[in-house]
A and B are shown apart, each in its own frame.
Chain A
Amino acid sequence: MQEIINWSDEFLAGAMVIIQLFFVSLLMVIVWGLLGATAKLSNSRIARGIANGFTVLCRGIPEFLLLLIVYFGSAVTLTNIARSWDPEIRFMDIPPFWAGAFAISLVIGAYATETFRGAFLGIDKGLVEAAKALGLTRFQVFWRLRLPMMWRLALPGFGNHLLSLLKDTALVSVIGVQGILFTAQQATTVNHKPFTMYLTVAFIFLALSTVIVVTMKCIEKYAYRHLEAAR
């Protein structure tokens, strides 16, 4: 217990890092998911091809590996470019936090693409026709009808993605992002109490995922209040 208290500042700081990582990736996940889903449902063969390539790639490679590829790939490329300007430069990288957030968002974004696509397909065509018949433009129909209907249908599946996203933030310690897992690894090298330290990490993750589950429940309650009322 004393050991946890000794390292509590570091754990707190680490928790803040993964929370930030979570929200930054979440924003990107929503963007990838929306772009991917609209591309897959579009008439353009090129857009569909790109989106299919994206989901095949990002769902097919282990996320741990993708993280390494994104981070070291970008670092090698950046270093080479920088060297052509100044041969003295030895190493240059994208900040690990951003590389990590980006890599995780690609993976979860690929899953979200499929969830959003399914939700878009689940929208009652009659509603879209009704909105069209009222004179709304295609853009207005998308913004005021398709999107609000879509996210409601996507909510249960999306909740799962949020939990995966949270857990994936543990991976980024490998590229040096100082999240809670990184803290635990550092502490272990000093105090040789791996079980206590990793258990602490587990509890922090459990606490954060509980917050997500509860939040999703509240959002669902709001989103489906029209169904609840109609019972």
Chain B
Amino acid sequence: MPSKPPIISLKSVHKYFGTYHALRNINLDVEEGQKIVVCGPSGSGKSTMIRCVNGLEQHDEGDITVNGHMMTTDEKTGNLIRQEVGMVFQSFNLFPHMKVIENLMMAQRMVRKKTKAEARDTGMKLLERVGISAQADKFPGQLSGGQQQRVAIARALCMNPKVMLFDEPTSALDPEMISEVLEVMTELAREGMTMICVTHEMGFARSVADRIVFMDEGEIVEAGEPETFFANPEHNRTRKFLDQIISH
């Protein structure tokens, strides 16, 4: 039986910011339904890598294929890919002048061409799923950080994406709000969503990830299943990083 091609595939990807070599020869395949956690010190290229996956950054060399589409500089191709890839940001990025439910409805109406009623319906269902349907008619600024991030997750899910990218989704949150966001993410993982999460939440990584990718200085140093990754990291750099984040 021929196996399905990976839903995300990065092949020899390089990215430069001016003369700075931000991504060095990145190779990564993600199968449908897999959960990948990406970790590494700041400036290691984690965010840049996942931002290349949906074309928020353009890579300079190599091939990125998402859901059968090869990423090009062409805006149409980029849009086609972005419509199937949800993204959650560190700073939530909810549209402040729109109510919560309007935040969820906008892309459904503009991109999926749904009617107002359909979009509202889907929006309310997803707000319920992340546990904040009571806040639908508030503005984002009236919500706590954890609530805002859950709205952001719901907003991405409204588009019925095939893949979800998380770019340090809990890093801007107060400690007591981290778990409510991680719970939503764990639930999503359990339902079979394909996910790439940049995060330092190692507990989440251990329980959810199929594979942990460790990056440093723009390259993937090592990647492996959580057990072996945490118990027997191959590389010194990985060991050092794990020591630093776990000892505190």
Contact = CB atoms under 8 A, between A and B. Distances in A.
Given A226-B97, A229-B141, A134 B159 contact: yes
A145 interface: yes
Interface in B173-201: none
Contacts of A144: 106, 110
A132 B110 contact: no
A5 interface: no
B82 A130 contact: no
A140 B87 CA distance: 18
Contact of A149 (B97, B140, B156): B97
A133 B54 contact: yes
A59 interface: no
Given A133-B56, A137-B75, A138-B75, A126 B107 contact: no
Interface in B41-92: 54, 56, 75, 79, 82-87, 89, 91
Contacts of A124: 93
A132 B141 contact: no
Nearest to B80: A135
A27 interface: no
A148 interface: yes
Contacts of A134: 82, 106-107, 111, 155-156, 159
A124 B141 CA distance: 15
B75 to A, nearest CB: 6
Given A134-B159, A229-B138, A229-B142, A140 B110 contact: yes
Looking at B83, B85, B95, B156, which has the most chain A CB atoms within 10 Å of its CB? B95
B89 to A, nearest CB: 6
B82 A226 contact: no
A130 B93 contact: yes
B79 A135 contact: yes
Contacts of B152: 130
Nearest to B90: A126
Interface residues of A, number: 25
A72 B204 CA distance: 75
A144 B141 CA distance: 19
B111 A129 contact: no
Looking at A129, A133, A145, which has the most chain B CB atoms within 10 Å of its CB? A133
Contacts of A149: 97
Contacts of A129: 56, 89, 93
A127 interface: yes
A152 to B, nearest CB: 7
A124 B79 CA distance: 21
A154 to B, nearest CB: 14
B139 interface: yes
A230 B93 contact: no
A227 interface: yes
Given A129-B56, A134-B159, A136-B110, A230 B141 contact: yes
B96 interface: yes
A27 B99 CA distance: 29
9 contacts: A126-B89, A127-B96, A130-B87, A130-B94, A131-B106, A137-B75, A152-B97, A229-B141, A230-B142
Given A133-B86, A226-B98, A230-B142, 17 more contacts: A127-B95, A131-B95, A131-B107, A132-B56, A133-B82, A133-B87, A134-B107, A134-B111, A134-B156, A134-B159, A135-B82, A135-B107, A136-B107, A136-B110, A148-B97, A225-B139, A229-B139
Which 5 pairs show the lowest CB-CB distances between chains A and B?
Answer: A230-B141, A135-B83, A130-B93, A134-B107, A226-B139
